[in-house]
Amino acid sequence: MCGIAGYFQLNEPAPPDRELVARMVNAIKHRGPDEFGAYFDNRCALGQARLSIIDLAGGSQPLCNEDGSVWVTFNGEIFNYVELRPELEKRGHVFRTNSDTEVIVHAYEEYGRDCVQHFNGQFSFVIWDTKNEKIFAARDRLGIRPMFFTVHNGRFYFASEIKSIFCDPSIPRRLDLRGLDETFTWWTSAPPRTLFENINELEAGHYIEIEDGKVRTGRYWSMIFPETFDYERPVESYAEELHALLVDSVRLRLRADVPVGAYLSGGLDSSVTTALVRHFTQNKLETFSVTFEDKAFDESSYQNQMAEYLGTNHHTVNATYLSIAEAFPKVIWHTERPVVRTAPTPLYLLSALVRQNNFKVVLTGEGSDEMLAGYDLFKETIIRAFWAKNPNSKWRPSLLRKLYPTLPGQGPQAGFYLEQFYKIGLDQPDSYYFSHMPRISTTTKIKDFFSADVKEAVAGHDSIDAFGHDLPEAFSRWHHLAKAQFLEARSLLSGYLLSSQGDRVSAGNSIEGRFPFLDHRVAEFAATVPPGYKIFGLNEKYVLKRAMAKELPANITKRVKQPYMAPDSNSFVQDDSPAYVNEMLSSEELTKTGLFNPSSVERLVKKCRRSAGKHLSFKDNMSFVGILSTQLLAHHYIHEYAPAEPAPRDAFSVWEDRSE
């Protein structure tokens, strides 16, 4: 995990702006504090902030091929570099390092754009092909590592984080209100749109080619589900194949020249990855967990059981209301987008714990729910699709009462309330977002707090259709569960879970997360598993539980799933809450930002304070956190933004200047 940044002159050559690149690199030094690198000529400037994990001594970047005609700056890991290298050497390529980075330049020489098809990894990279005067950039299949770009004054700028692009003061900094509208619909904006006007995000599984001054993007991978499934094949056969793939995925993701730890939440997914490390590798096992002051969110008893069962050296950090509130502004500085839950903040505290224990790399269980249908949203979809076939049925909606047994503060939910809520969109079962209608209905309530100007500005924007473009040709014929999984991976996984709750909060503490469930081989196989093997009755991730029955205790595989959540508004309405909360939500600051109606926000804040210590509705909690995080975003990047200072010249281990 590193940080990359730079620019390319689209048309006319120009002397390099070395100070700008030094600023861009320094702005993301948290991503790679171990060493900096830069390459310059009169067309291209490549910058790199390195977190050294593989080939500590020889893997400095930017890095080139034998004759210096192909250069790369790279963020991430190519896990199968060990297998790719001999193949490339047989074809005549000469390696000078033992790094995975060098595999990229030689694979590009050999395969061109198709090089990405050979990589098993999590990556974003930019290649400067000097002979052909061509830029090639790409992002991994599922969007684990970020890439942002813009075109301004004849230059193409790119970076791992937007704050790096803003180091050029000539680039305007304005919030994209349509991006905000989409975020308060889907929890994220739909690429290429971001929360800033004219700043683009490269979508997962996409590449960029720049040639003859023209910038072109394209897709090279997508999750594809079959139209029919093989129920003749027994579930045990699927479970065995899944087990073998996960063992190999974990093995690949332990490749590093530094120690690798593991997150252990107490749930099934992190227990799976940790157990596979214990049972199928020789790696020393150290695990890390977050516990909560608010016991409604705490899973420490399960964490301790798994740590004891596996014999790990276990570390914990306790997330209190105060620690969440204190860290929240820094989290929003890293996310560069609003959030509607505080959940990223405890993970930021957790990655800090990892760093304090001198680890740089951790395995996590992220992605299992999306690939193997673990969320309640997927069970809702199955029930609602079944219900939609007979909308007047009295017993079909009663299945909903079996859901959400662990949600804090909800108490017994009346059947009438459940029926009315989940009936939303029941008459539109063929809509592409049928599965997400209840969630969207709750999230969009935040927009009630928009100011009149914002409501007018987004009035013609169809945020619900944001992810409805470029769907696979057969999408309409897929099973309801397949549609839901595809949409969840395309929206929430890449845009929120792997970003605000993943890359950004780990990178903020110079930590690299690795995701065995997001090996593209696992994802492609999981798409072929029949829906009835993923959700058996209402038993989620059934095939995974069968696959891991021998490695995990029954109390882990059979426990009721507790979604990872954290205290939301309660974190900000305590007597000792930080002063910035009142400041950001004051009438003066809200008027200055102009995004929300001050009187409406004031009523919400009073309601949350009156209910301190209680658990409010999702609507109120998401509104409070969404408004506060947006105010902080505007504060950080619009009102009070200051570009990073240039990193000093002697901090760069690579300073290749070919501009003269």
pLDDT, average across residues 128-155: 98
Q: What is the pLDDT of residues 522-531, one digit of tens each?
A: 999 999 999 9
Alpha-carbon distance of 519 to 433, in angstroms, equals: 26
Domains of the chain: 3-221 (3.60.20.10), 222-432+468-567 (3.40.50.620), 571-639 (no CATH)
pLDDT, average across residues 25-41: 97
* Mean pLDDT of the chain, nearest integer: 94
Q: Are 173 and 166 in contact (CB under 8 A)?
A: yes
Q: What is the pLDDT of residues 36-80, one digit of tens each?
A: 999 999 999 999 999 999 988 899 999 999 999 999 999 999 999
Regarding predicted confidence, which is higher, 509 or 406?
509
Task: Kindly list the catalytic residues.
Answer: 2
Starting from the edge strand earliest in sequence, which strands make up the sheet with 260-263, in order? Answer: 313-319, 286-292, 260-263, 361-363, 512-514
Residue with tokens 């930002």: 593
Both tokens assigned to 221: 């991978």
Judged by average pLDDT, the poorest of 4-18, 224-238, 375-389, 396-410 is 396-410
Comparing C-alpha atoms, which of 56, 193, 21, 123 is closest to residue 518?
A: 123
Alpha-carbon distance of 447 to 193, in angstroms, equals: 19
**What is residue 411's predicted lDDT score, i.e. its pLDDT?**
45
**What is residue 414's predicted lDDT score, i.e. its pLDDT?**
47
| Three-state DSSP class for residue 585 | coil
**What is residue 397's predicted lDDT score, i.e. its pLDDT?**
62
Q: Considering all CA atoms of the chain, what is the largest pairwise distance in Å, rounded to the nearest integer?
A: 78
Helices 618-634 and 598-610, packing angle to 10 deg: 130
Residue with tokens 């390319």: 8
Indicate the residue type of 522.
V
Q: What is the pLDDT of residues 516-557, one digit of tens each?
A: 999 999 999 999 999 999 999 889 999 999 999 999 998 888
Comparing C-alpha atoms, which of 217, 223, 148 is closest to residue 189?
A: 148
Q: Which residues contact residue 353 at a Cβ distance below 8 angstroms, ignoring those fewer than 6 apart?
A: 288, 315, 316, 317
Instruction: Cis check for the bond before 397: say yes or no (omega within 30 of 0).
Output: no
Alpha-carbon distance of 158 to 7, in angstroms, equals: 6
Q: Are 503 and 362 in contact (CB under 8 A)?
A: no
Bridge partner list, 46: 6, 39
Between the alpha carbon of residue 329 and those of residues 15, 335, 365, 635, the distances in Å are 38, 10, 26, 10
Q: Are 28 and 5 in contact (CB under 8 A)?
A: yes
| Three-state DSSP class for residue 526 | helix
Alpha-carbon distance of 602 to 623, in angstroms, equals: 12
Q: For residue 248, what is the enclosing H or E element?
A: helix 235-253
Helices 101-111 and 81-90, packing angle to 10 deg: 40
Between the alpha carbon of residue 516 and those of residues 121, 358, 415, the distances in Å are 10, 22, 39
Q: What is the pLDDT of residues 69-125, one digit of tens each?
A: 999 999 999 999 999 999 999 999 999 999 999 999 999 999 999 999 999 999 999
Bridge partner list, 125: 74, 138
Comparing C-alpha atoms, which of 413, 416, 422, 421 is closest to residue 388?
A: 422
DSSP code of residue 16: -
Q: Which residues contact residue 114 at a Cβ distance below 8 angstroms, ignoring those fewer than 6 apart?
A: none
Comparing C-alpha atoms, which of 212, 147, 224, 200 is closest to residue 526?
A: 224
pLDDT, average across residues 496-515: 97
Q: What is the pLDDT of residues 142-195, one digit of tens each?
A: 999 999 999 999 999 999 999 999 999 999 999 999 999 999 999 999 999 999
**What is residue 406's predicted lDDT score, i.e. its pLDDT?**
47
Between the alpha carbon of residue 281 and those of residues 97, 260, 370, the distances in Å are 26, 12, 26
Q: Are 543 and 242 in contact (CB under 8 A)?
A: yes
Residue with tokens 């998401």: 622
**What is residue 279's predicted lDDT score, i.e. its pLDDT?**
87
Residue 83 has φ and ψ, to the nearest 5°, of: -80, -30
Q: Are 11 and 213 in contact (CB under 8 A)?
A: yes
Between the alpha carbon of residue 433 and those of residues 206, 222, 465, 657, the distances in Å are 23, 18, 9, 50
